[in-house]
Amino acid sequence: MRFSTPAHAWDWWRSLGAPRFVAAPMVDQSELAFRSLCRELGVGLCYTPMMHARLMTEVRTYQKLHFDAGSAEVDRPLFGQLAGHDPQVVLAAARLIEHDVDAVDLNFGCPQAIARKGRYGAFLLEEPGVPVSLVETLARELSVPVTAKLRILPDDARLERTVELCQQMQEAGAALLCLHGRTRMQNKQLSGTSNWDAIKQLVEAVDIPVIANGGIGSYEDAEACLAHTGAAAVMSSEGLLENPALFCRNRDPQTGAYIDQDALAQRYLKICEEQPPSKGLAMSRGHVFKLVHGGLRQQPQLRDEILSTQSTAELHTVCSRLAEVGWTQPRFHTDDFDPAHSWYFRHRQASLQPPASASFEPSPRPHATDADAAPTRDEAAAAALEKRDRKRADSRRKRGRRDASRQQKQAVANANDA
């Protein structure tokens, strides 16, 4: 769908409720259960996990595993994100989801090496004709709006090429843009500080809604980013993974009660019982590890038990035991906030300086503690061996259960034959 004027794009945005707080697309992490939790706690718009367009069209089981849109009553507004470089392939994938989402989003932000190999994500920004062609094709052919999520182009200190590309995508039919205020090189340990000035510059240069992304670890960050950039909304990814109550200041929207990490884990697992993640416990465990990261570091035996869990109920049990034992929590949005016990804040080192153009002060990013320092070679080797041993032990347990089950079935069959 292509809007005839930017004003119509804004009308569409307002028809979605003009959401201010957005949950980012995250591979294997922004699944339906997690989206539902975020929506309960202040998020107004969610993205699906990124989906590979070619695999969506070629592998029958891929769509079932990766596209899990809920009903319109519980999982809207929802943007479905696709990655790819061939307009016809991406269009074919988009047609598989267009009737279950409010927009189809194009991924021009993934900085991982696999995106270079697959020719998608942030690496397409260096082929500006490709993103524009993708937007133009989908905007012309689909029945829902087309949006794009991107990063700052490399070696573009004055933002001229980034802004020009975004203006071209707007002209090609994009209804909305989401800009992550980092380049693809600013990734993982080298992420640095998000450049909100760049986002502000884009907001002023285009006429369609812009979502700001990057550096959002607290409600205060979100409000500061909105005020600084003038964006229509603000998006969080990693910060939201650890604290899905980020956008409600960790206060229950219904009761006003404080929601700590133990409560978040239990709420998430309760939702999983009704909306099982498409990839099963692998997804659930991943969320639990982030939600109660500090507790599992303080109680490593429970971390190992979580690795061995075989059901959501077992995950519930281990999380309940952690809550009973007690642990030093980060206590987000309180006077007792302690970033040393946070999964998200632990790797935001103060030594990583913001870009020269940045003129804002984000939430403090502490120096890494000794416990977070890079392990020695011997420590890394020991950890790898320990992980291998745990996997082998887990495989032996599973094999033993399968053998016992087969033996039981055979015994029953023999008894029936007799």
What residues are labeled active site? 110
Type of residue found at 183: T
- Using alpha carbons, select from 60, 129, 140, 138 the residue that is nearest to residue 105: 138
Length of the chain: 418
- Using alpha carbons, select from 123, 140, 29 the residue that is nearest to residue 84: 123
H/E element holding 91? helix 87-97
Q: Over 194-209, what HEC string results?
A: CCHHHHHHHHHHCCCC
Query: How far is residue 215's CA from residue 48's CA, in Å, rounded to a whole number?
Result: 20
Query: How far is residue 418's CA from residue 416's CA, in Å, rounded to a whole number?
Result: 5
With b for 16 or more beta-carbon neighbours within 10 A and e for fewer, the 148-176 pattern comes to bbbbbbeebeebebbbebbbbbbebbbbb
- Using alpha carbons, select from 253, 240, 272, 190 the residue that is nearest to residue 342: 240
Contacts of 355 (CB under 8 A, 6+ apart): 192, 193, 195, 197, 198
Contacts of 341 (CB under 8 A, 6+ apart): 293, 294, 328, 329, 330
